[in-house]
């Protein structure tokens, strides 16, 4: 019997109810589950797709207070996020690191205006500051941002923020949950809520791989399903009044040559009021993001023509030329669940999180941002404890070191550093089979052993799981990911004992999906 089959058997044969059952395996769901398990509550999490499949793997890879939220005078959010940023860096230094940003100034007014604002931003972080901000000369700005179009450039402002690998952070949370005695399973969908005397007593779930349904009993249910929050609320019989405004953000990934060096570019306000970043990441350059309202949630959002035009226009403006189609290595979109508070443009809606407790006892957490995931989890479980009448226990996640924690990753390549203390164990797979030390693809930094590791230790079930989230191949170079996919499919089928038909179907599904990450001239 496979490890997954054994896990599902134990779930189906559960005795006493779980203390906490979390629906949703993104940042907020994993954060809440880790929070619950760390307090000693029996915790289980179900995710209908893969962990961090949606919004939580499609961020701009920043751990930040949010400079634009400071300009909007959302002081509480900025203060909370800066505090959490510092603790993320301390608790997962293998995944989060300090990154220098430069704001180029194209008029003399911008230097004191943004210089003052960023000094306030720095001071607000207090003892958790990542470094001092300062004004830069025109020459120093060009030196730190090689490749920037410098016509009209007056100087710049240097400041510090955090950077991370979002999907790998989610996997670290998954492993941390398991280390704490919690249980999580992907490809298990919540299909209904179980009620007793009007109160929620569990969830009806379906194993999406085998199409088998069963019940999970729990003292409290946490709805942490992100942009799909309203689907779970509908199961609870709650009114269809829209709670969320969904906003889409699209990114391009360009060669590192567009922004050589290790400093990021931040444009605090484009002509239409958006924030634009160009960030070095895994030896490439991420440019984004857009902020466009969409009608509703989708599993695999696709960029719109206006978003692509916006990115191309601004890349040309700030780097002096438009990228050729083949230079856009990957193109991907994510959705933001923004809580409606008076409506207005999605770029103006708050990134604060909201917690709702229904009459039936369903605890829903939505909104928020990656940087405040831990605080969201703490608030959520505080509410869950009250609903379920669980023994009250203080939170201990503020200083909880995440799985893989090590302070000995300086100088490592980013693709290796994300494994932290697990890296020697990963590398040892090649000691037993030297072939596993080979590169997955000449243009990708990953090795074959990472496919085996992803299946055995990180619950990867599909080619997409491996190439999109256990490695970041699809997000870095979609064409290379497609070329590497047959090898991954063969390795997965061998590790999981799957048939040739299963392998071929999984491979084709990945290729179909990955083709949507390739930019093509319209």
Torsion of CA 456, 459, 463, 464, to 10 degrees: -150
* Per-residue pLDDT at 341: 59
Fold for 3-55+168-241+349-388, please state it.
FAD/NAD(P)-binding domain (3.50.50)
* Per-residue pLDDT at 349: 43
pLDDT-derived band at 522, boundaries 50, 70, 90: low
Per-residue pLDDT for 261 more than 70?
yes
* pLDDT tens digit sequence for 303-359: 999 999 999 999 999 998 999 999 999 999 999 888 775 444 434 444 578 899 999
Q: Please state which CATH number belongs to domain 97-163+244-347.
A: 3.30.9.10
pLDDT-derived band at 110, boundaries 50, 70, 90: confident
Residues linked to residue 353 through DSSP beta bridges, in sequence order: 367
Half-sphere exposure of 214 (CA within 13 A, CB side): 15
Question: What's the N-to-C CA distance of the chain in angstroms?
Answer: 50
* Per-residue pLDDT at 1: 57
Specify the DSSP class assigned to residue 467: I
Over residues 437-449, the mean pLDDT reads 97
* Per-residue pLDDT at 346: 39
Whether the Cβ atoms of residue 439 and residue 422 lie closer than 8 Å to each other: no
* Per-residue pLDDT at 367: 87
Q: What are phi and psi of 368, to 5 degrees?
A: 80, -175
Per-residue pLDDT for 72 more than 80?
no
3 state SS of 255 = strand
The CATH class for the domain spanning 415-517 reads: mainly alpha
Instruction: List, as one string, the DSSP characters of 194-236.
Output: EEETTEEEEEEEEETTTTEEEEEEEEEEEE--GGGHHHHHHHT
374 vs 243, higher pLDDT: 374
* pLDDT tens digit sequence for 447-473: 999 999 999 999 999 999 999 999 999
Domains of the chain, by residue range, sit at: 3-55+168-241+349-388, 97-163+244-347, 415-517
Helix, strand, coil shares of the chain as percentages rounded to 5?
A: 40, 25, 35
* pLDDT tens digit sequence for 490-512: 999 999 999 999 999 999 999 99
Per-residue pLDDT for 286 more than 70?
yes
Provide the CA 18 distance to its chain's centre, in angstroms.
27
Per-residue pLDDT for 40 more than 70?
yes
Whether the Cβ atoms of residue 168 and residue 122 lie closer than 8 Å to each other: no
Over residues 81-108, the mean pLDDT reads 93
* Per-residue pLDDT at 118: 85
**Cβ neighbours around 215 below 10 Å, total:** 15
* Per-residue pLDDT at 447: 97
Half-sphere exposure of 78 (CA within 13 A, CB side): 21
Per-residue pLDDT for 124 more than 60?
yes
Over residues 200-227, the mean pLDDT reads 96
Candidate ranges 20-34, 61-75, 128-142, 405-419; pick with highest mean pLDDT: 20-34
Candidate ranges 168-172, 232-236, 266-270; pick with highest mean pLDDT: 168-172
* pLDDT tens digit sequence for 416-432: 999 999 999 999 999 98
Helix (DSSP H) and strand (DSSP E) numbers for the chain: 17, 18
Work out the percent of the chain whose per-residue pLDDT is above 90.
Answer: 75
**Cα–Cα distance measured from residue 520 to residue 308, given in angstroms and rounded to the nearest whole number:** 10
**Cα–Cα distance measured from residue 250 to residue 100, given in angstroms and rounded to the nearest whole number:** 23
């Amino acid at each position: 019997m496979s490890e997954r089959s054994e896990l599902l058997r134990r779930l189906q044969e559960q005795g006493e109810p779980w203390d906490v059952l979390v629906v949703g395996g993104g940042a907020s769901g994993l954060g809440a589950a880790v929070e619950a398990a760390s307090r000693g509550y029996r915790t289980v999490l179900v995710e209908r797709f893969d962990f961090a499949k949606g919004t939580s793997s499609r961020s701009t890879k920043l751990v930040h207070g949010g400079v634009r939220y400071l300009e909007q005078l959302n002081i509480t959010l900025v203060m909370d996020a800066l505090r959490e940023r510092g603790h993320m860096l301390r608790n997962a230094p293998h995944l989060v690191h300090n990154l220098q940003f430069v704001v180029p100034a194209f008029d003399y007014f911008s230097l004191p205006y943004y210089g003052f604002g960023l000094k306030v931003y720095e001071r607000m972080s207090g003892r958790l500051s990542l470094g001092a901000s300062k004004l830069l000369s025109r020459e120093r700005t060009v030196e730190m941002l090689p490749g920037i179009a410098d016509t009209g450039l007056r100087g710049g402002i240097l400041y510090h923020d955090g950077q991370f690998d979002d999907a790998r952070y989610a996997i670290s949370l998954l492993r941390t949950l398991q280390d704490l005695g919690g249980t999580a399973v992907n490809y298990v969908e919540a299909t209904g809520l179980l009620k007793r005397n009007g109160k929620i007593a569990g969830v009806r779930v379906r194993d999406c791989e085998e199409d088998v349904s069963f019940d999970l009993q729990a003292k409290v249910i946490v709805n942490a399903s992100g942009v799909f929050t309203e689907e779970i609320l509908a199961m609870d019989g709650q009114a269809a009044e829209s709670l969320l405004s969904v906003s889409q953000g699209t990114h391009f990934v360009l060669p590192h040559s567009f922004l050589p060096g290790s400093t990021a570019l931040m444009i605090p306000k484009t002509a239409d009021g958006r924030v634009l970043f160009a960030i070095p990441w895994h030896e490439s350059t991420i440019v984004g993001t857009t902020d466009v309202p969409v009608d509703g949630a989708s599993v695999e959002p696709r960029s719109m023509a206006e978003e692509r035009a916006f990115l191309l226009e601004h890349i040309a403006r700030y780097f002096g030329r438009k990228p050729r189609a083949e230079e856009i290595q990957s193109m991907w979109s994510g959705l933001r669940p923004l809580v409606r508070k008076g409506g207005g443009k999605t770029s103006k809606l708050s990134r604060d999180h909201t917690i709702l407790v229904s009459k039936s006892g369903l605890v829903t957490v939505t909104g928020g941002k990656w940087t405040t995931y831990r605080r969201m989890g703490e608030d959520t479980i505080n509410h869950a404890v009250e609903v379920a009448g669980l023994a009250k226990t203080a939170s201990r996640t503020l200083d909880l070191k995440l799985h893989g924690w090590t302070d000995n990753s300086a100088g490592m390549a980013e693709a290796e550093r994300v494994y932290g203390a697990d890296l020697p164990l990963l590398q040892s797979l090649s000691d037993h089979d030297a072939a596993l030390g080979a590169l997955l693809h000449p243009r990708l930094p990953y090795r074959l052993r990472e496919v085996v590791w992803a299946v055995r230790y990180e619950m990867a079930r599909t080619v997409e799981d491996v190439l999109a989230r256990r490695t970041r191949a699809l997000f870095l170079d979609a064409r290379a990911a497609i070329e590497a996919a047959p090898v991954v499919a063969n390795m997965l089928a061998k590790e999981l004992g799957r048939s040739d038909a299963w392998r071929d179907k999984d491979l084709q599904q990945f290729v179909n999906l990955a083709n949507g990450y390739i930019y093509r001239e319209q």
